[in-house]
Structure 1
Amino acid sequence: MRTSSTLALDAPVASVVPLVEDLSCYPEWMPMIHGLERSDEGDGTAWNVELRAKVGPFARSKRLRMVRTVRETAPDGTVTVVFERREVPTRAHSSWTMTVRVVPRGAGCTVEMDLAYGG
């Protein structure tokens, strides 16, 4: 399954990137994240995440360990951040990959978010 979303913001890339490269900021603006805690060695790259979604009277939740695997800036100023599911201990799990691109647009930027998951 794959879902994508794009949002145009009247904020510069430098103001938006800190909010998308650190999953600790996501619960403030993404209601799908129900719970979150760091799961790294202090380097700020891994989080245990509880996702929750409601459909009518039903709620479904999923717990994952997500690791930031990419954080790069292109020559045009576009910043790409990728988070991937990496469980500990390592064993077979469905894939989850979230790619976020922050693209300069005049004085503001566009945030493109793509979430692909296998179950």
Structure 2
Amino acid sequence: MSDVLRDKQFWDMTDSFIQLANTHLNEVKPSRVSACALFAASRFNAFVITAASESKEQLIAEKRLRSLISSTNTKKCCARTWMSIWRATTSTAVNWQEMDRALSF
């Protein structure tokens, strides 16, 4: 059994957040409560990341690196998707191994 499953404090905190969310259900739709809970979690996680950074410069550098990695992964995904579509719809002879090498950013 994992430590999380045995961690009473973890589950008590989780239940307290759910109880708070449930108090809003009398006023708004569950989808709105869910959206607010997700937004609050993301804001809190941003705070946790910021608080863990040694300096503003380190935070900015890490943010730029994450953005670059995300952008590169998105480009790879899009390029491979279009390549797959092209493979399926064209009869043109193409060196696919060379194309794969070219897409290895």
State TM-score, norm by structure 2: 0.23
Larger Rg: 2
Per chain length, whose mean CA-contact separation is higher, i.e. which structure has more relative contact order (CA < 8 Å, sep 6+)?
1
More strand by share: 1
More helix by share: 2
